[in-house]
Structure 1
Amino acid sequence: MYFSRLLLLSAAFSQAPFALSATTFDFSNEYNATSIHAEGDKYFINQVSQLTKGDVDITLHTGGSLGFKSTDNFYAVADDAVQIADTLAGSMAGIDPIFLLSSLPFVVENADQAEQLYQIAKPYYQKVFAQNGQILLYASPWPASGIWSKTPVTSKQELTNLKIRTYDKNGTLTLREAGAAPVKLSWADVVPQLSTGGIQAVLTSADAGASGKFWEHLDNYSAIQYAIPLNMVHMNKEEFDSLSTANQQSILKAAELTDKHNWKTVRTRVASNYQDLAEHKVVIHQNLPDSFISLLQEAAKPSLQEWLEDTGQHGKNIMAEFEQNK
Structure 2
Amino acid sequence: MIKNTTPLSQRSASAPFLKQLGGVLTVAALTLAAGYAQATDWDMPTPYGDSNFHTVNISQFTDDVRDATNGELDITVHSSGSLIKHQEIKNSVRRGLVPIGELIMSRLANEDPLFEVDSVPYLASDYDQAWKLWQASRDVLSKRLEGQRLKLLFAVPWPPQGIYTQFAVETGEELKGVKMRAYNKSSEQLAELLGALPTQVEVPDIPTAFGTGRVDAMITSPSTGANTRAWDYLTHFNHAQLWLPKNMVVVNVKAFNSLPEETRKALEDAAEAAEKRGWEASKAETEAKIKIMQDNGIEVSEPSPQLVKHLKEIGEAMTEEWLGRAGEDGQALLEAYSKQ
For Structure 1 versus Structure 2, the TM-score category normalised by the shorter chain is over 0.9
**Structure 1 counterpart of 2:65:** 48
CA contact (8 A) 1:150 1:219 kept: yes
CA displacement at 1:10 relative to structure 2: 6.5
Provide the residue aligned with 2:314 in structure 1. Answer: 299
Number of equivalenced pairs: 323
AA in 1 matched with 2:135 = Q
Q: Which amino acid aligns with 1:49?
A: R
Q: Which residue of 2 aligns with 1:153?
A: 169
Residue 217 in structure 1 maps to residue 254 in structure 2: no
Identity across the alignment (%): 26
1:19 to 1:323, Cα distance in 2 relative to 1, 3 A: closer
Q: What residue number does 2:47 align with?
A: 30
In the alignment, the residues of structure 2 paired with residue 156 and residue 204 of structure 1 have an alpha-carbon distance, to the nearest angstrom, of: 16
Q: CA deviation at 1:278?
A: 2.1
Separation in structure 1 between the aligned mates of residue 102 and residue 301 of structure 2, nearest angstrom: 30
Pick from 107, 113, 133 the counterpart of residue 97 of structure 1: 113
Partner of 1:196: 212
The one of 240, 249, 252 equivalent to 2:256 is 240
Matched residue, 1:178: 194
| Partner in structure 2 of residue 134 of structure 1 | 150
Q: Distance in 2 between matches of 1:267 and 1:291?
A: 27
| Partner AA of 1:213 in structure 2 | R
For structure 1, the 5+ residue unaligned runs are: none
CA distance 1:17–1:250, shift in 2 (3 Å):
closer
Counterpart of 1:112 in structure 2 is 128
2:80 to 45, 51, 63: 63
Shift of 1:86: 0.9
Greater Cα offset, 53-62 or 216-225: 216-225
Letter aligned with residue 296 of structure 1: L
Partner of 2:203 in structure 1? 187
Please tell me whether residue 8 in structure 1 is matched to residue 18 in structure 2.
no
Judging changes above 3 Å, is the alpha-carbon distance between structure 1 residues 156 and 95 closer, same or farther for their aligned structure 2 residues? closer
TM-score where L is the length of structure 2: 0.89
Counterpart code for 1:34: S
Alpha-carbon RMSD: 2.0
- For the residue of structure 1 that corresponds to 2:97, the secondary structure is coil
Assess if the C-alpha contact under 8 Å between 1:36 and 1:142 holds in 2. Answer: no
What residue identity is the alignment partner of 2:45?
A: S
What is the CA deviation profile of residues 108-149 of structure 1, one whole-angstrom value per residue up to 9, with x for unaligned ones? 131011011011101111111100011000002100001122
1:121 — aligned with what?
A: 137
Which amino acid is the alignment partner of residue 52 of structure 2? S
Q: Is the 8 A contact 2:203 2:224 kept in 1?
A: no
1:226 is the counterpart of 2:242: yes
Determine the structure 1 residue equivalent to 2:13.
none
Alpha-carbon distance in 2 for matches of 1:188, 1:111 = 26
- Would the aligned equivalents of 1:154 and 1:222 in 2 still touch at CA under 8 Å? no
Query: For residues 140-198 of structure 1, what are the alpha-carbon distances to aligned partners after superposition, in whole Å with 9 as ceiling and x for unaligned?
Result: 21000011222333333422222111221122222221222222333344332112011
Tell me the secondary structure at the aligned position of residue 307 of structure 1: helix
CA distance in 1, matches of 2:79, 2:301: 30
Query: Which region of structure 1 is more displaced relative to structure 2, 108-117 or 182-191?
Result: 182-191
Given that residues 173 and 194 in structure 2 are in contact (C-alpha distance below 8 angstroms), is that contact kept between their aligned partners in structure 1?
Answer: no
Q: Does 1:322 align with 2:334?
A: no
Aligned match for 2:324, one of 300, 303, 309:
309
Q: Which residue of 2 aligns with 1:78?
A: 94
